[in-house]
Structure 1
Amino acid sequence: MFLHCSSILFLLCFALQSFYLANSQSFIGVNYGQVADNLPPPSATAKLLQSTIIEKVRLYGADPAIIIALANTGISIVIGTTNGDIPALASDPNFAVQWVNSNVLAYYPASKIILITVGNEVMTSGDQNLMGQLLPAMQNIQNAINGASLGGKIKVSTVHAMSVLAQSEPPSSGSFNSSFGDTMRSLLQFLQANGSPFMINPYPFFAYQSDPRAETLAFCLFQPNAGRVDSGTGINYMNMFDAQVDAVRSALNAMGFKDIEIVVAETGWPYKGDANEVGPSVDNARAYNGNLINHLKSMVGTPLMPGKSVDTYLFALYDEDLKPGAGSERSFGLFNPNLSMTYDVGLLKSNQTPATPAPITPETPVSPSTPAIPLTPVTPATPVIPTTPVTPPAGVYGIAISCKQQHSRLLILVIMVAFTLFGLPVRGDDILL
Structure 2
Amino acid sequence: MDIELSANSDFVGVCYGTNGDNLPPPSEAVALCKMHNIKKMRIFTPDEEVLSALKGSEIELMLGVPDDDIEKLADPSFARIWVQKYVIDYSPDVKFRYISIGDEIMPHKAETALQATFVLTAMQNIYDSISFHGIENQVKVSITIGMRILGRSYPPSAGACLAEVSSYMCQIIKFLKDTNAPLLLNVDPFWSYVITPVNHMSISYALFTASSPVVKDRQYKYKNLFVAKLDAMYWALERAGAPSLEIVVCSVGWPSNGSERGASYKNAATFYSNLIKNMKLGTPRRPRRPIETYLSSLFDENKSGERESTKHMGLFFANKNPKYSII
Q: 2:151 corresponds to which residue?
A: 166
Instruction: State whether structure 2 residue 124 is matched by structure 1 residue 143.
Output: no
- 1:294-334 CA-partner distances (Å, limit 9, x unpaired): 112xx221111111211100000011211231101111011
Work out the CA distance in 1 between the residues paired with 2:141 and 2:219.
Answer: 36
Q: 1:31 corresponds to which residue?
A: 15
Work out the CA distance in 1 between the residues paired with 2:220 and 2:244.
Answer: 22
Q: Select the residue among 28, 47, 53 that pairs with 1:44.
A: 28
Work out the CA distance in 2 between the residues paired with 1:181 and 1:219.
Answer: 30
Paired residues, what number?
Answer: 319
Q: 1:356 corresponds to which residue?
A: none
- Secondary structure in structure 2 of the residue aligned to 1:230: strand
Instruction: State whether structure 2 residue 293 is matched by structure 1 residue 312.
Output: yes
Residue correspondence of structure 1 range 99-114 to structure 2 within 5 A: 99-114=82-97
- Secondary structure in structure 2 of the residue aligned to 1:179: helix
1:343 CA displacement: 2.2
Q: 2:268 corresponds to which residue?
A: 285
Instruction: State whether structure 2 residue 244 is matched by structure 1 residue 259.
Output: yes
Work out the CA distance in 2 between the residues paired with 1:197 and 1:215.
Answer: 30
Kept in 2: contact 1:230–1:237 (CA 8 A): yes
1:229 CA displacement: 3.0
Kept in 2: contact 1:202–1:267 (CA 8 A): yes
Instruction: State whether structure 2 residue 209 is matched by structure 1 residue 228.
Output: no
- Secondary structure in structure 1 of the residue aligned to 2:270: helix
Instruction: State whether structure 2 residue 48 is matched by structure 1 residue 67.
Output: no
Work out the CA distance in 2 between the residues paired with 1:160 and 1:327.
Answer: 24
With normalisation by structure 1, the TM-score equals: 0.71
Work out the CA distance in 2 between the residues paired with 1:324 and 1:312.
Answer: 22
Q: Which has the larger radius of gyration?
A: 1
The alpha-carbon distance between structure 1 residues 23 and 227, as it changes in their structure 2 partners (threshold 3 A), is closer
Q: 2:118 corresponds to which residue?
A: 133
2:297 counterpart letter in structure 1: A
- Secondary structure in structure 1 of the residue aligned to 2:90: coil
Work out the CA distance in 2 between the residues paired with 1:213 and 1:62.
Answer: 43
Higher strand share: 2
- 1:190-230 CA-partner distances (Å, limit 9, x unpaired): 00001111111111101211234496200100113432233
Residue correspondence of structure 1 range 285-304 to structure 2 within 5 A: 285-296=268-279, 299-304=280-285
- 1:393-414 CA-partner distances (Å, limit 9, x unpaired): xxxxxxxxxxxxxxxxxxxxxx
Q: Select the residue among 185, 201, 205 that pairs with 2:170.
A: 185
1:122 CA displacement: 0.6
Q: Select the residue among 109, 112, 115 that pairs with 2:98.
A: 115
The alpha-carbon distance between structure 1 residues 43 and 152, as it changes in their structure 2 partners (threshold 3 A), is same
Q: 1:331 corresponds to which residue?
A: 312
Kept in 2: contact 1:64–1:103 (CA 8 A): yes
Work out the CA distance in 1 between the residues paired with 2:17 and 2:118.
Answer: 25
Q: Give the stretch that moved more between structures: 118-127 or 26-35.
A: 118-127
Work out the CA distance in 2 between the residues paired with 1:215 and 1:191.
Answer: 34
Kept in 1: contact 2:13–2:38 (CA 8 A): yes
Work out the CA distance in 1 between the residues paired with 2:90 and 2:199.
Answer: 49
1:59 CA displacement: 0.2
2:120 counterpart letter in structure 1: L
Kept in 2: contact 1:28–1:53 (CA 8 A): no
RMSD, aligned CA = 1.6
The alpha-carbon distance between structure 1 residues 210 and 227, as it changes in their structure 2 partners (threshold 3 A), is farther
Work out the CA distance in 1 between the residues paired with 2:158 and 2:287.
Answer: 19
Work out the CA distance in 2 between the residues paired with 1:257 and 1:181.
Answer: 13
Work out the CA distance in 1 between the residues paired with 2:305 and 2:242.
Answer: 37
Q: 1:417 corresponds to which residue?
A: none
1:24 CA displacement: 5.4
- 1:256-299 CA-partner distances (Å, limit 9, x unpaired): 1012110101100011113xx21110011111111101112xx2
Aligned sequence identity (%): 34
Work out the CA distance in 2 between the residues paired with 1:320 and 1:23.
Answer: 27
2:312 counterpart letter in structure 1: S
- Secondary structure in structure 1 of the residue aligned to 2:255: coil
Work out the CA distance in 1 between the residues paired with 2:62 and 2:146.
Answer: 18
Work out the CA distance in 1 between the residues paired with 2:283 and 2:38.
Answer: 21
Residue correspondence of structure 1 range 354-369 to structure 2 within 5 A: none
